Amino acid sequence: SQQGEEDPQALSIQEGENATMNCSYKTSINNLQWYRQNSGRGLVHLILIRSNEREKHSGRLRVTLDTSKKSSSLLITASRAADTASYFCATDARGTSYGKLTFGQGTILTVHP
């Protein structure tokens, strides 16, 4: 079963708007990662946040982590049509082999030009 659960399952916005996706998980983690998957292509790593970090930025991406609530959010600012993709959170659970990622079901983001 998937540990991470993304919300919403699908998100449709206009170019220039911000997109926020949420992820909840169940166990303690070493880190949480966000990946993007374009239609028919492999996953691309976006950002990694460690369990002792609360917020991280990378370009137009902002990730927050609340370990007390076991949740994370990914904010994409000033979205572009090229951001259209599926976004997955993946947790590296504490107490398991480092690097054994557990993915959520993903959020499908559609950005309309």
Partner 1 sequence: DTGVSQDPRHKITKRGQNVTFRCDPISEHNRLYWYRQTLGQGPEFLTYFQNEAQLEKSRLLSDRFSAERPKGSFSTLEIQRTEQGDSAMYLCASSLAAGDIEQFFGPGTRLTVL
Residues that bind partner 1 (CB under 8 A): 2, 4, 30-31, 33, 35, 41-45, 48, 50, 88, 90, 92, 97-106
Beta-carbon contacts of 69 under 8 Å, excluding residues fewer than 6 positions away, are 24
Shorter beta-carbon distance to partner 1: residue 17 or 54: 54
Q: Give the Cα separation of 113 and 91 in Å (integer).
A: 32
Q: Which residue has the tokens 């002792």?
A: 52
What does the DSSP assignment read for 74-107?
Answer: EEE-S--GGG-EEEEEEEEETTS-TT-EEE---E
Shorter beta-carbon distance to partner 1: residue 30 or 110: 30
Q: Taking the complex as a whole, how short is the minimal distance between the CB of residue 2 and partner 1, in angstroms?
A: 6
Q: Give the Cα separation of 69 and 5 in Å (integer).
A: 13
Shorter beta-carbon distance to partner 1: residue 68 or 97: 97
Q: Taking the complex as a whole, how short is the minimal distance between the CB of residue 24 and partner 1, in angstroms?
A: 14
Q: Taking the complex as a whole, how short is the minimal distance between the CB of residue 79 and partner 1, in angstroms?
A: 22
* 26 backbone φψ class: left, alpha, beta (φ>0; ψ -120 to 50): alpha
Shorter beta-carbon distance to partner 1: residue 15 or 86: 86
Q: Taking the complex as a whole, how short is the minimal distance between the CB of residue 105 and partner 1, in angstroms?
A: 5
